[in-house]
Structure 1
């Protein structure tokens, strides 16, 4: 049964209240877009279109925050159905942007009407089904967690909504609250966001198409990943070795200069690219700092970007057949 929501009964900053605030903005922007002539008012039309496309933040909050909590409570429908609706609208925005930027305005009126129609069909489903059911299914604690995660994604509103609940905001990176999970935490460790076993961490690092080496704050190599196809060879003998002895003499001065600036805090990243055995290799150094900004070492990352650099256009379909 379709229901309506009395938003005046929702606390300020409640995720559903914020969705309704965004609906008001969407209504204003779509009306402005319909009334703006792309031929004579091109820049104004383009600006309004850009503001409207920020609706993707709304999609991302639903997909990454609201839907997962609904799944935990046993409602999978939005994840399976509404996400596809989002992707259809994303594709319409993408195609429209190409036309607008190419100033192909002949059929823009019809295309815009089609886009707006799709947006309001989605808003109707949200208002009559998604949000009323979500308010019934999710607890106050759930909504607090939904809102905390939304802080990292953002909104399409010009100002950040009021805090919810009305208390000091804790950034997700500093939120160490223990939560119930649908998977086993046995033998896992907690990372910034999520849990993995040592085996899973090793598999992750081994599978990544990157050469990673971690040098600690004392300039000692303490880790490298064992990828299937490394750019530069590494062996276990490197562990515990001073980093200055791990590079050819001609590049040691550069490495030491990077470490010096990282330790002083004047720099945090350095990049190089070289031709190596007919391949283009991208080498990057990143300073590692703790929450108090104290230097804790450096990550060296090397990647073969030859094939990446040659990518053109788009590939949106799976071509395994």
Structure 2
């Protein structure tokens, strides 16, 4: 057994350490499986979005978005599943907080889609710097009104 396999076996048998590590990150992390169900919604994501992280586990990623955003979310997931989209990066204005998001697929050793990861980084300083250079376009405001995420449970 190689070191990587030993490490993975340890992580599978010690899920508390993995959960603690994810919850200790200063970046919001959301992980979905191949059926668009949330399998990880870390503490920082819960704080950032004002939601109970545990409530989001096993709910559809679509419930984290307003209904009007579903077609775009499904398109992005479809593109990751087909291999067409290797990563997405972009700005988000969530309730006045400027975030930078990275979304990328999780692939198994054979290149098959297993799910996806979304990282959301607070990026107000980077946004201010780009604004001062005239290189920043304010993203649409999300998280309020019709752009609010929905309850995790229909």
Q: TM above 0.5, one fold?
A: yes
TM-score relative to the length of structure 1:
0.35
Q: Is the 8 A contact 2:29 2:44 kept in 1?
A: no
1:266 corresponds to which of 84, 89, 99: 84
- Whether 2:17 is the aligned partner of 1:191: answer no
Matches within 5 A, 1:76-87: none
- Following the alignment from structure 1 to structure 2, what is the Cα–Cα distance between the partners of residues 209 and 249? 28
Deviations 1:187-231 (A, max 9, x none): xx7239xx6643332222112111111110011112211139732
RMSD (CA atoms): 2.8
Query: Judging changes above 3 Å, is the alpha-carbon distance between structure 1 residues 246 and 232 closer, same or farther for their aligned structure 2 residues?
Result: same
Structure 1: runs of 5 or more not aligned: 1-174, 179-188, 312-321
Query: Judging changes above 3 Å, is the alpha-carbon distance between structure 1 residues 247 and 177 closer, same or farther for their aligned structure 2 residues?
Result: closer
Instruction: Give the aligned partner of residue 51 of structure 2.
Output: 234
Instruction: Give the aligned partner of residue 68 of structure 1.
Output: none
1:218 corresponds to which of 19, 35, 39: 35
- In terms of fraction of residues, the more helix-rich structure is 1
TM-score relative to the length of structure 2:
0.68
Q: Is the 8 A contact 2:38 2:57 kept in 1?
A: yes
- Following the alignment from structure 2 to structure 1, what is the Cα–Cα distance between the partners of residues 93 and 122? 10
Deviations 1:218-246 (A, max 9, x none): 11112211139732133223222222232
- Following the alignment from structure 1 to structure 2, what is the Cα–Cα distance between the partners of residues 293 and 304? 31
- Following the alignment from structure 1 to structure 2, what is the Cα–Cα distance between the partners of residues 262 and 247? 18
Matches within 5 A, 1:110-149: none
Q: Displacement, 1:302? A: 1.1
Q: Displacement, 1:291? A: 0.7
Query: Judging changes above 3 Å, is the alpha-carbon distance between structure 1 residues 288 and 176 closer, same or farther for their aligned structure 2 residues?
Result: same
Instruction: Give the aligned partner of residue 204 of structure 1.
Output: 21
Mean CA deviation greater in 293-302 or 274-283: 274-283
2:100 corresponds to which of 260, 279, 282: 282
**Number of residues of Structure 1 aligned to a counterpart in Structure 2:** 125
The 4+ residue runs of structure 1 with deviation greater than 4 A are 308-311
| Bigger relative contact order, structure 1 or 2 (CA pairs below 8 A, ≥6 apart) | 2
Q: Is the 8 A contact 1:279 1:306 kept in 2?
A: yes
Instruction: Give the aligned partner of residue 176 of structure 1.
Output: 2
Q: Is the 8 A contact 1:281 1:303 kept in 2?
A: yes
Structure 2: runs of 5 or more not aligned: 130-154
